[in-house]
Structure 1
Amino acid sequence: MLFMFVIALVGNGLLLFLMRMDSGLKTPMYFFLSQLAFMDLCQVLSIVPSMTVNFVTQRYDTSLCGCVIQIAVTLTLGGAECLILAIMSYDRYVAICRPLQYPILMRGEICYLLSVAAWCWSSVQALTCSLYVLPLPYCKSNVIKHYMCDYPALVQLSCSDNSAFNKVTYFGDFLVFLIPISVILASYIAIFLQVLRAHTTGSGHKALGTCLSHLCVVGIFYGSAILMYMTPASSYTPEKSMVIIAFCTMVPAITNPFIYSLRNRDVLAALRKLCAKCAVLKIIC
C-alpha cells in the first residue's frame, strides 16, 4: 500500500504541476483531468498516512469524530469522482462528435458550473451519511475490522434500527451511480458509432483505443463502488470491504495518470519542456 501510495503521489502530483505550469494544458479536458488528479491525490492522502502511522505505532484506535471526518472526506471525493468521470466522457463526446460546437458547449463558465455541481452534490450526500452515524448509539463492539473508517461498518455496530437510513442511502447511491453511468455509456456509444461512420483508419483506431482504456478505468471504479455501496447491508464483510476500498481508491489513483494523461501527446510534450528547463538550469548552476 505504501508503494502504491508513492506512485499515486508522484503521478498525480506531476500531472497537477504540469497542468499548472504549461499554458498549452488549459483546455476544458485538462481542467477536468486536473480535478480528477486532485481527487485521487486527496483520496490516498486521507487513507494511507493514518493507516501507516497505525501500523508503525501499533496503535489502532481513533475517535468517533475523526472517524466521521474520514468518512465525509472519502465519500465526498468518491462521489465527486463519479460525476467528474461522467463529465469527462461528455467532454470527449462533444470533442469527437460535435467539434464545431465544442468551444460553445464546453466554454469556461459551463466547465466551472459542472465542476461546482459535482462537488456540491457529493458533499451533500457525504454530509448526510456522516451526520447520521455521528449520534448513533453504539452499544455493541467498538472494533472495526478495517484499515479505514467506513459508514456501513459504523451502522453495523449501532444497536438502533437503521432500515430507513439504509433505504435513503440506497436511493442516493442509485442516483449517484445511475446518472453518471448512463452519461458515460451514452457518450462512448455515440463516439464508437461516430468512429465507425467516419471510416477512418489510424485516427479512428486511436480514438477507439483511448475510449476502451478509459472504459476499463471507469469499469473498475464503478464496479467496485457498486459492490461496496449498492449491495444489501447483510452481505457486508470487513474482508470484502477492504479489497473493494483498495480498488476504489488506490487502483484508480495509480492508473488514472497513465490512462488519461501520461499517454497524451500534449502532456508528454509539457513533460519534455519541463525536463529541458531543468537541464538548462542545472547547466547554468
Structure 2
Amino acid sequence: MGPENHTFSSDFILLGLFSSSQKGLIFFSFIVIIFIMTVTENSVMILLIHKESRLHTPMYFLLSHLSFMDILHVSNIVPKMIINFLSGNRTISFAGCGFQIFLSLTLLGGECLLLAAMSYDRYVAICHPLRYPILMNDYVSILMAGGSWLIGTVNSIVHTAYTLHFPFCGSRAVDHFFCEFPAMLVLSCVDTTHYERGVYVSGIIFLLVPFSLIFASYVQILLTVLQMKSSEAWKKSFSTCFFHMIVIIMYYGPFIFTYMKPKKYHIPGQDKFLAIFYTILTPSFNPIIYSIRNKDVLEAMKNMIKSNFLHKNSRENA
C-alpha cells in the first residue's frame, strides 16, 4: 500500500494536553469551565444583539459574528478533547482531522479580518463621527462580515487541501490537542519547504496586515481622544483601547509566532501552550472586553432580565 493510500485509510492520534494524573484532571476541569463560560457568554451576546434594538448598529453586528465564530471555534476543539480524555481513546479519523483543520483555519482567518473591521469601525466612530453613517452603514458592515467569512473559507480550503495531500508515512501521533496544520506538517515525510513559503505569505495577509491596521487604528483613536478637553472621555477611551489591545496581543501574538516560523523550529509543548491563547482563552475574553463592559450592553441585559421576569410573573398571576 502506497503512502497516499495509507494516509486516507488510517486514523491519527491526538496526544492532547492532559495526563491521567491529578494535575491533569485539574487542568481538564479548568478547560471544561472555560468552554462552558465561552459558549454561554457568546450566546448571551448574540441573543442580546438580536433582541435589543439599540444594539442594531454596525459595531454590534460585527460583534455578533465574532461571538458566533468564537462559539464555533471552541466547539470545534474542546468537545473532542473532553471525549478523548474521558474515554481514554485519543484517536481521530482522517476526515475528522481534516474537518478540524478546515473549520479552525476558516475561523482563525475570518476572525483576524473581522477584528480589523471592528477596529476600523471604532476608528471611524471616534475620529470621523460625522461621516460614520456614510463610512459604516449597514451595507458596509454586511460586506465586512461576509468578506471575513468568505476569504477565511477560501484560504482554509487551500491550506486544508495542501496539508492533507502530503503523505504521512511515519508516526501518526499528533503532538497537539487538535489537528492544527503546523503540527500536521511535522508528521509529513516529504519536503514541505515550498508550501511553508505559501503559509508565510498567508501569515502576512491574515496576521501582520490586520494587526498593523488594528494597531494604527487604536493609535489614531488615542491621538484623537488626547485632543479632547474632557478628562472623563480621555480616561474611558484609554481604558477601552488598553483592554482591547491586551486581547488583540493575546490573540495575534501566539498566532503569529506559531504560524510564521519554519517547521524545523516548532516545539510541540510550546505550540500547544501558545494555541491555548488563540483557541480557548481569547474566545472567553472577547465578550467581556468588547461588550459586557459597555453600558449599552449592560442596559440591554437588564432590560432582557426585567422583561423575562415580568413575563414570568404575568403568567403565574394569570
Q: What TM-score do you get using the length of structure 2 for normalisation?
A: 0.88
Query: Match for residue 29 of structure 1?
Result: 59
Mean Cα displacement is larger for which, 96-105 or 271-280? 271-280
Query: Match for residue 143 of structure 1?
Result: 173
Q: How many angstroms does 1:65 deviate by?
A: 1.6
User: Residue type matched to 2:311 in 1?
Assistant: L
Secondary structure at the counterpart of residue 178 of structure 2? coil
Query: Match for residue 115 of structure 2?
Result: 85
Query: Match for residue 23 of structure 2?
Result: none
Cα distance in 2 between the residues matched to 1:153 and 1:216: 27
Matching of residues 63-82 of structure 1 within 5 Å = 63-82=93-112
Query: Aligned-pair RMSD on alpha carbons?
Result: 1.0
Q: Point out the structure with max Rg over C-alpha.
A: 2
Query: Match for residue 207 of structure 2?
Result: 177
Cα distance in 2 between the residues matched to 1:13 and 1:114: 21
**Contact 1:65–1:134 (CA<8 Å) still a contact in 2?**
no
Q: Deviations over 1:58-107 (max 9, x none)?
A: 11111112101100101110111111111111100100010000000001
**Contact 1:12–1:41 (CA<8 Å) still a contact in 2?**
yes
Tell me if 1:152 matches 2:182.
yes
Query: Match for residue 10 of structure 2?
Result: none
- Structure 1 gaps of 5+ residues are none
Q: Deviations over 1:227-282 (max 9, x none)?
A: 11012211212211211111001111111111110011111111001111121123
Cα distance in 1 between the residues matched to 2:147 and 2:32: 33
User: Residue type matched to 2:201 in 1?
Assistant: F
Identity across the alignment (%): 38
Q: Deviations over 1:172-215 (max 9, x none)?
A: 11121122112112211111111111232101210111011101
User: Residue type matched to 2:208 in 1?
Assistant: L
**Contact 2:185–2:263 (CA<8 Å) still a contact in 1?**
no
Q: What TM-score do you get using the length of structure 1 for normalisation?
A: 0.97
Secondary structure at the counterpart of residue 134 of structure 1? helix
When the two structures are aligned, how many residues end up with a matched partner? Answer: 285
Matching of residues 113-124 of structure 1 within 5 Å = 113-124=143-154
The one of 208, 227, 238 equivalent to 2:257 is: 227
Tell me if 1:207 matches 2:237.
yes
Cα distance in 2 between the residues matched to 1:191 and 1:243: 33
Query: Which consecutive aligned stretches of 4+ in structure 1 deviate over 4 angstroms post-superposition?
Result: none
Matching of residues 218-257 of structure 1 within 5 Å = 218-257=248-287
Secondary structure at the counterpart of residue 211 of structure 1? helix
Secondary structure at the counterpart of residue 142 of structure 2? helix
**Contact 1:19–1:30 (CA<8 Å) still a contact in 2?**
yes
Cα distance in 2 between the residues matched to 1:279 and 1:124: 45
